[in-house]
């Protein structure tokens, strides 16, 4: 293996690696020998298929597999020899893939900046008291009540009223042509502007069961939904059934149905839960304020690949949030991508937070044990409800456990900042800012 290393910038490295033909031949021979033992070719006993036939039938796949294995093996070997640790998985660019000559490729990556965190002890910060009012408790009980609501088919009324739920079919047409992406068949709609975008609630409000209702809406050129921006859309909705939402009465029986002894017991425990959440939220804001101070006092150069990874993660998170709110998959991802500039700013802040908390953890020799990781995974599985099996499978992967371990180490670094800070309890507003990434 021949290796050269370049440094295009302070944090960027480019490893160019060339694997010699003799090393390639050894890997090809090994791969074809393993293939010969397992493949069945008509007219040949197992393990006796000639190499030339194996190359004819499986040559492209073998070549691809060998290149993939050699690239990973020799990249890892070169990184180890050069004592280099990429902050993000290297980008590999192949330059010569004629395996009869050589395999030459480049691995381009960023390294972690060499940081010494300064001026982080005794930072002064304000924290507002965590207070819970009776109105907060009322709101929590009402939200629990709403989750227990049921839908009952409306009898004796055929005209839709605001707030109803309707089983309906909806189509959107532009220039007289139905747009497939604007079609919904036999879907349950809540006739409310809070749950239906694009003023679609106005299509159903006042509609009569069995009689299609048609409304045309014009959308401005700068409308957020690009597919509708600057368009006149004719919406056609056909209501098939009307349902009303029924809420249970808030009394002792309701509380017992939810697993509490009485309504008073429900309210007492709701208040305690809200107070605990408010305290965690206040601590999170204080931690963010502290890390903002550390960032200001410790300017650093950001690895571009780390920023891009965080931007893409934020874009994916936003797209999933939009999908969860009912935006179709493709439109959700398009809308998230269109906010790339805004997301990059947030990504840069996340990257700075990660780098500085990692550096602080190293300086303070903060360690996370396997027991710490197991405890956090156990909690995540317990809290996942129906998705517990999916969460368990996620953390069965070693890479995901390592990511969790790194996140827990950062969490402890932020705890250390808080422990050493001078925290003034105030009645003012908490400092604004994005909360640090949670594991």
HSE-CB of 71 using CA atoms within 13 angstroms: 21
Q: Which fold has domain 150-246?
A: Chitinase A; domain 3 (3.10.50)
Q: What is the pLDDT of residues 4-24, one digit of tens each?
A: 999 999 999 999 999 888 888
> In this predicted model, what pLDDT tens digit does every residue of 42-58 receive, in sequence order?
878 777 888 888 888 88
Q: What is the DSSP letter of 325?
A: T
Q: Where in the chain is CATH 3.30.70.1050? A: 2-110
Q: Just give the CATH number of 2-110.
A: 3.30.70.1050
Q: What is the DSSP string of 267-296?
A: HHHHHHHHHHHHHHHHHHHHHHHHHHHHHH
pLDDT band at 436 (very low <50, low <70, confident <90, very high): very low
- Whether residue 135 is predicted with pLDDT greater than 50 in this model: the reply is yes
**Helix (H) / strand (E) containing 144:** helix 134-147
Overall average pLDDT of the 392-414 stretch:
93
Run of H or E including 170: strand 165-174
The pLDDT assigned to 386 comes to: 78
- Give the whole-angstrom CA distance, residue 53 versus residue 155: 74
pLDDT (0 to 100) of residue 49: 84
Residue 77's pLDDT is what? 92
The residue with greater pLDDT, 411 or 102, is: 411
- Give mean pLDDT, residues 379-386: 85
The continuous run of DSSP H or E covering 233 comes out as: strand 232-246
Instruction: Label the pairing between strands 124-127 and 422-425.
Output: parallel
Question: From CA 251, how far away is CA 28, in angstroms rounded?
Answer: 75
* pLDDT range class, residue 426, cuts 50, 70, 90: confident
Number of H helices, E strands in the chain: 12, 12
**Are 236 and 173 spatial neighbours (Cβ–Cβ below 8 Å)?**
yes
| Distance of alpha carbon 439 from alpha carbon 376, whole angstroms | 9
For domain 124-132+255-425, the CATH architecture is: Orthogonal Bundle (1.10)
58: left (phi over 0), alpha (psi -120 to 50) or beta: alpha
pLDDT score, position 316? 94
Q: Give the residue range(s) of CATH 3.10.50.40 domains in the chain.
A: 150-246
Helix (H) or strand (E) holding 249, with range, is none
Phi-psi group of 200: left, alpha or beta (phi > 0 → left; psi -120 to 50 → alpha; rest → beta): alpha
**pLDDT tens digits for range 198-237:** 999 999 999 999 999 999 999 999 887 878 889 999 999 9
- Give the number of other CB atoms < 10 A from CB of residue 17: 22
Residue 42 CB contacts under 8 Å (≥ 6 apart), including other chains: none
Residue whose tokens read 């994916």: 316
Give Cβ neighbours of residue 327 (< 8 Å, ≥ 6 apart): 335
Average pLDDT, the chain: 89
Say yes or no to pLDDT of 344 above 90. yes
Q: What is the H or E stretch that residue 229 is in?
A: none
The per-residue pLDDT for 427 is 58
Question: Among candidates 78, 80, 76, 36, which has minimal Cα distance to 55?
Answer: 36
């Amino acid at each position: 293996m021949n290796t050269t290393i370049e440094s295009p910038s302070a944090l960027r490295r480019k490893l160019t690696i060339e694997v010699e033909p003799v090393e390639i031949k050894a890997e090809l021979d090994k791969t074809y020998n393993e293939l010969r033992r397992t493949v069945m070719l008509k007219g040949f006993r197992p393990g006796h298929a000639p190499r030339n036939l194996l190359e004819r039938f499986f040559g492209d796949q073998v070549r691809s597999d060998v290149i993939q294995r050699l690239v990973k093996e020799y990249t890892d070997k070169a990184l180890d020899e050069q004592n280099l640790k990429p902050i993000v998985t290297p980008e590999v660019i192949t330059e010569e893939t004629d395996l009869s000559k050589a395999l030459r490729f480049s691995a381009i990556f960023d390294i972690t900046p060499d940081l010494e965190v300064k001026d982080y002890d005794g930072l002064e910060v304000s924290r507002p008291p965590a207070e819970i009012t009776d109105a907060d408790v009322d709101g929590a009980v009402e939200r629990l009540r709403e989750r227990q609501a049921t839908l009952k088919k409306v009898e004796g009324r055929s005209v839709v009223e605001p707030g109803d739920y309707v089983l309906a079919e909806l189509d959107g047409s532009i220039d007289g042509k139905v747009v497939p992406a604007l079609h919904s068949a036999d879907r349950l709609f809540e006739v409310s502007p809070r749950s239906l975008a694009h003023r679609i609630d106005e299509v159903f409000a006042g509609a009569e069961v069995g009689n299609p209702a048609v409304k045309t809406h014009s959308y401005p050129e700068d409308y957020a939904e690009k597919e509708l921006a600057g368009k006149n859309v004719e919406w056609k909705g056909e209501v098939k059934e009307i349902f009303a939402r029924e809420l249970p009465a808030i009394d002792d029986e309701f509380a017992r149905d939810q697993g509490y002894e009485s309504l008073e017991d429900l309210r007492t425990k709701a208040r305690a839960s809200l107070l605990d959440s408010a305290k965690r939220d206040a601590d999170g804001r204080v931690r963010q304020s502290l890390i903002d101070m550390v960032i200001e006092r410790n300017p650093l150069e950001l690895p571009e690949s780390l920023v891009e990874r965080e931007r893409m993660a934020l874009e994916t998170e936003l797209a999933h949030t939009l999908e969860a709110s009912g935006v179709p998959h493709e439109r959700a991802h398009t809308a998230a991508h269109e906010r790339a500039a805004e997301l990059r700013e947030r990504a840069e802040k996340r990257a700075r937070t990660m780098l500085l908390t990692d550096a602080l953890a190293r300086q303070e020799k903060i360690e996370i044990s396997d027991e710490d990781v197991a405890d956090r995974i156990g909690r995540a599985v317990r809290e996942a409800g129906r998705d517990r099996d999916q969460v368990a499978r996620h953390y069965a992967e070693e890479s995901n456990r390592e990511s969790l371990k790194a996140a827990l180490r950062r969490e402890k670094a932020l705890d250390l900042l808080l422990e050493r800070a001078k925290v003034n309890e105030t009645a003012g507003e908490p400092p604004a800012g994005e909360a640090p990434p949670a594991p």
